Amino acid sequence: MRYLIRYAYDGSHFNGFQRLKDKKSVQGTLEEALSILNKAPVVIKGSGRTDVFVHANGAVAHFDLEIPIPSKRLVYALNRIVHPYIHVLDCKEVPDSFHARFSVKEKKYVYKIWFGAYDPKKYDYYLMYDKKLSLKKLRECAKIFVGRHDFHNFVSGERENSNGTIYQIKVKKRKNVVEITFRGKSFYRYMVRNLVGAMLMYNEGKCAIIELKKMLEKDYHKKLSTASANGLYLEGVYYE
Protein backbone atom coordinates (compact mmCIF):
# COMPACT_ATOMS: atom_id res chain seq x y z
CA MET A 1 0.00 0.00 0.00
CA ARG A 2 1.34 3.45 -0.95
CA TYR A 3 1.20 6.38 1.46
CA LEU A 4 1.88 10.10 1.18
CA ILE A 5 3.12 12.04 4.22
CA ARG A 6 3.57 15.76 4.76
CA TYR A 7 6.09 16.69 7.42
CA ALA A 8 8.24 19.44 8.93
CA TYR A 9 11.82 19.33 10.16
CA ASP A 10 14.55 21.42 11.71
CA GLY A 11 17.37 21.25 9.18
CA SER A 12 20.00 22.40 11.67
CA HIS A 13 19.96 18.89 13.17
CA PHE A 14 20.48 16.97 9.91
CA ASN A 15 23.02 16.67 7.12
CA GLY A 16 20.38 17.43 4.51
CA PHE A 17 17.51 15.31 3.27
CA GLN A 18 19.34 12.60 1.31
CA ARG A 19 20.22 9.32 2.99
CA LEU A 20 23.90 9.14 4.05
CA LYS A 21 25.89 6.16 5.27
CA ASP A 22 27.50 7.66 8.36
CA LYS A 23 25.61 10.91 8.93
CA LYS A 24 22.15 11.77 10.19
CA SER A 25 19.72 12.72 7.41
CA VAL A 26 15.99 13.36 7.16
CA GLN A 27 15.46 10.54 4.68
CA GLY A 28 17.48 8.08 6.74
CA THR A 29 15.64 8.95 9.96
CA LEU A 30 12.21 8.50 8.36
CA GLU A 31 13.22 5.25 6.67
CA GLU A 32 14.52 3.79 9.92
CA ALA A 33 11.26 4.63 11.67
CA LEU A 34 9.09 3.25 8.88
CA SER A 35 11.16 0.05 8.68
CA ILE A 36 10.49 -0.56 12.38
CA LEU A 37 6.74 -0.17 11.86
CA ASN A 38 6.73 -2.20 8.63
CA LYS A 39 8.99 -4.93 10.06
CA ALA A 40 10.88 -4.78 6.75
CA PRO A 41 13.06 -2.17 4.97
CA VAL A 42 11.22 0.87 3.61
CA VAL A 43 12.54 3.39 1.07
CA ILE A 44 10.91 6.81 0.87
CA LYS A 45 10.79 9.03 -2.21
CA GLY A 46 10.81 12.73 -1.42
CA SER A 47 9.43 15.59 -3.49
CA GLY A 48 13.01 16.83 -3.77
CA ARG A 49 16.23 17.14 -1.81
CA THR A 50 17.16 19.88 0.62
CA ASP A 51 20.72 20.74 1.57
CA VAL A 52 22.38 20.83 4.97
CA PHE A 53 20.74 23.42 7.30
CA VAL A 54 17.69 23.93 5.05
CA HIS A 55 14.39 23.59 6.94
CA ALA A 56 10.91 22.44 5.94
CA ASN A 57 7.39 23.23 7.07
CA GLY A 58 5.66 21.26 4.32
CA ALA A 59 7.93 18.60 2.84
CA VAL A 60 6.30 15.61 1.14
CA ALA A 61 7.33 11.99 0.54
CA HIS A 62 5.73 8.71 -0.51
CA PHE A 63 6.52 5.11 0.43
CA ASP A 64 5.07 1.61 0.26
CA LEU A 65 4.29 -0.58 3.27
CA GLU A 66 3.79 -4.33 3.33
CA ILE A 67 1.73 -4.02 6.51
CA PRO A 68 -1.35 -1.80 6.04
CA ILE A 69 -1.58 0.76 8.84
CA PRO A 70 -4.43 3.28 9.21
CA SER A 71 -3.20 6.78 8.34
CA LYS A 72 -3.93 8.40 11.70
CA ARG A 73 -2.25 5.58 13.58
CA LEU A 74 0.75 5.81 11.25
CA VAL A 75 1.15 9.55 11.96
CA TYR A 76 1.01 8.92 15.71
CA ALA A 77 3.49 6.02 15.60
CA LEU A 78 5.95 7.85 13.34
CA ASN A 79 5.98 10.96 15.49
CA ARG A 80 6.79 8.93 18.58
CA ILE A 81 9.93 7.64 16.84
CA VAL A 82 11.19 10.65 14.84
CA HIS A 83 10.55 13.23 17.59
CA PRO A 84 11.77 15.95 18.26
CA TYR A 85 13.32 17.36 15.06
CA ILE A 86 10.91 15.84 12.53
CA HIS A 87 7.14 16.04 12.84
CA VAL A 88 4.69 14.30 10.51
CA LEU A 89 1.75 16.64 9.88
CA ASP A 90 -0.58 14.31 8.01
CA CYS A 91 -0.75 11.11 5.99
CA LYS A 92 -3.04 9.59 3.38
CA GLU A 93 -3.21 6.61 1.06
CA VAL A 94 -2.48 7.33 -2.61
CA PRO A 95 -2.62 5.30 -5.86
CA ASP A 96 0.41 3.22 -6.79
CA SER A 97 0.93 5.52 -9.78
CA PHE A 98 1.55 8.54 -7.51
CA HIS A 99 5.13 9.80 -7.19
CA ALA A 100 6.08 12.49 -4.67
CA ARG A 101 8.61 14.03 -7.06
CA PHE A 102 7.30 13.48 -10.57
CA SER A 103 3.67 14.37 -9.74
CA VAL A 104 4.53 17.82 -8.35
CA LYS A 105 2.70 20.79 -9.89
CA GLU A 106 4.12 23.57 -7.73
CA LYS A 107 6.51 24.20 -4.85
CA LYS A 108 6.69 27.03 -2.37
CA TYR A 109 9.91 28.18 -0.69
CA VAL A 110 10.37 30.96 1.86
CA TYR A 111 13.68 32.67 2.58
CA LYS A 112 13.92 34.50 5.93
CA ILE A 113 16.27 37.40 6.60
CA TRP A 114 16.85 38.84 10.08
CA PHE A 115 18.06 42.46 10.10
CA GLY A 116 17.54 43.34 13.77
CA ALA A 117 20.15 43.24 16.51
CA TYR A 118 22.27 40.10 16.30
CA ASP A 119 20.69 37.22 18.20
CA PRO A 120 22.68 33.95 18.35
CA LYS A 121 19.48 31.99 19.08
CA LYS A 122 18.17 32.93 15.64
CA TYR A 123 21.33 32.12 13.70
CA ASP A 124 20.22 28.63 12.62
CA TYR A 125 16.88 29.91 11.28
CA TYR A 126 17.61 33.18 9.46
CA LEU A 127 20.20 34.87 7.32
CA MET A 128 21.66 37.41 9.75
CA TYR A 129 21.91 40.59 7.66
CA ASP A 130 23.63 43.73 8.96
CA LYS A 131 23.08 46.05 5.99
CA LYS A 132 20.19 48.32 5.05
CA LEU A 133 17.41 46.47 3.22
CA SER A 134 15.35 48.18 0.53
CA LEU A 135 12.07 46.38 -0.11
CA LYS A 136 11.71 48.41 -3.30
CA LYS A 137 15.02 47.09 -4.65
CA LEU A 138 14.22 43.51 -3.68
CA ARG A 139 10.88 43.74 -5.48
CA GLU A 140 12.45 45.32 -8.56
CA CYS A 141 14.86 42.41 -8.75
CA ALA A 142 12.13 39.84 -8.10
CA LYS A 143 10.18 40.98 -11.16
CA ILE A 144 13.08 39.93 -13.41
CA PHE A 145 12.97 36.33 -12.21
CA VAL A 146 9.21 35.77 -12.50
CA GLY A 147 8.20 33.78 -15.59
CA ARG A 148 9.88 31.05 -17.60
CA HIS A 149 13.65 31.49 -17.92
CA ASP A 150 16.92 29.66 -18.34
CA PHE A 151 18.32 29.73 -14.78
CA HIS A 152 21.71 28.18 -15.62
CA ASN A 153 23.58 30.99 -13.84
CA PHE A 154 21.56 30.41 -10.68
CA VAL A 155 21.98 26.66 -10.17
CA SER A 156 24.81 24.54 -8.84
CA GLY A 157 26.60 22.05 -11.08
CA GLU A 158 26.17 21.25 -14.75
CA ARG A 159 22.71 20.42 -16.08
CA GLU A 160 21.45 19.64 -19.56
CA ASN A 161 18.34 21.71 -18.87
CA SER A 162 18.07 24.64 -16.44
CA ASN A 163 14.75 25.97 -17.70
CA GLY A 164 12.18 26.64 -15.02
CA THR A 165 9.09 28.68 -14.28
CA ILE A 166 8.60 30.95 -11.28
CA TYR A 167 4.96 31.89 -10.87
CA GLN A 168 5.36 34.45 -8.14
CA ILE A 169 7.91 36.10 -5.83
CA LYS A 170 6.61 38.07 -2.86
CA VAL A 171 8.66 40.25 -0.53
CA LYS A 172 7.19 41.23 2.82
CA LYS A 173 8.47 42.71 6.05
CA ARG A 174 7.29 42.08 9.61
CA LYS A 175 9.19 43.71 12.48
CA ASN A 176 12.86 42.68 12.05
CA VAL A 177 12.25 39.98 9.44
CA VAL A 178 12.01 40.12 5.66
CA GLU A 179 10.49 37.04 4.01
CA ILE A 180 10.91 36.31 0.30
CA THR A 181 8.40 33.73 -0.94
CA PHE A 182 8.95 31.83 -4.19
CA ARG A 183 6.21 29.81 -5.92
CA GLY A 184 6.99 27.85 -9.07
CA LYS A 185 8.07 24.60 -10.65
CA SER A 186 11.46 23.01 -11.32
CA PHE A 187 13.59 24.58 -8.59
CA TYR A 188 17.11 23.22 -8.96
CA ARG A 189 19.97 22.85 -6.50
CA TYR A 190 20.91 26.16 -4.82
CA MET A 191 18.52 27.99 -7.17
CA VAL A 192 16.50 29.83 -4.52
CA ARG A 193 19.63 30.63 -2.51
CA ASN A 194 21.37 31.99 -5.62
CA LEU A 195 18.35 34.11 -6.55
CA VAL A 196 18.27 35.55 -3.02
CA GLY A 197 22.02 36.16 -3.23
CA ALA A 198 21.52 38.11 -6.46
CA MET A 199 18.68 40.12 -4.93
CA LEU A 200 20.87 41.08 -1.98
CA MET A 201 23.75 42.06 -4.25
CA TYR A 202 21.39 44.32 -6.17
CA ASN A 203 20.18 45.72 -2.85
CA GLU A 204 23.80 46.58 -1.99
CA GLY A 205 24.49 48.15 -5.38
CA LYS A 206 26.96 45.42 -6.39
CA CYS A 207 25.16 44.47 -9.61
CA ALA A 208 22.76 46.14 -12.02
CA ILE A 209 19.34 45.12 -13.33
CA ILE A 210 20.69 44.90 -16.88
CA GLU A 211 23.33 42.41 -15.74
CA LEU A 212 20.77 40.24 -13.94
CA LYS A 213 18.64 40.18 -17.08
CA LYS A 214 21.67 39.05 -19.11
CA MET A 215 22.25 36.23 -16.63
CA LEU A 216 18.95 34.72 -17.81
CA GLU A 217 20.28 34.50 -21.37
CA LYS A 218 21.52 31.10 -22.50
CA ASP A 219 24.96 32.17 -23.74
CA TYR A 220 25.84 34.50 -20.87
CA HIS A 221 27.78 33.00 -17.95
CA LYS A 222 28.34 34.62 -14.58
CA LYS A 223 28.03 33.60 -10.94
CA LEU A 224 27.03 35.80 -8.00
CA SER A 225 26.87 35.07 -4.27
CA THR A 226 24.84 32.26 -2.70
CA ALA A 227 22.70 33.07 0.33
CA SER A 228 23.26 30.84 3.35
CA ALA A 229 21.18 27.67 3.72
CA ASN A 230 19.86 28.34 7.23
CA GLY A 231 17.38 31.00 6.03
CA LEU A 232 15.65 28.69 3.54
CA TYR A 233 12.41 26.77 4.18
CA LEU A 234 10.53 24.35 1.95
CA GLU A 235 7.09 25.68 2.79
CA GLY A 236 4.80 23.55 0.64
CA VAL A 237 4.47 21.06 -2.22
CA TYR A 238 1.30 20.97 -4.33
CA TYR A 239 -0.09 18.32 -6.67
CA GLU A 240 -3.30 19.84 -8.03
Q: Could you list the active site residues?
A: 51
Beta carbons of 15 and 23 less than 8 angstroms apart = yes
∠ Cα 16 112 87 (to 5°):
45
What is the per-residue DSSP string for 83-112? Answer: TTTEEEEEEEE--TT--TTTT--EEEEEEE
Q: What is the Cα–Cα distance from 93 to 59, expressed in whole angstroms?
A: 16
- Can you say whether residue 39 is alpha, beta or left, with left for phi > 0 and alpha for psi between -120 and 50 degrees? left
- Backbone angles phi and psi of 48, in degrees to 5: 170, 175
Cα–Cα distance measured from residue 59 to residue 104, given in angstroms and rounded to the nearest whole number: 12
Handedness of CA 225, 114, 172, 110 (dihedral sign): positive
Distance CA 107, CA 188 (A): 11
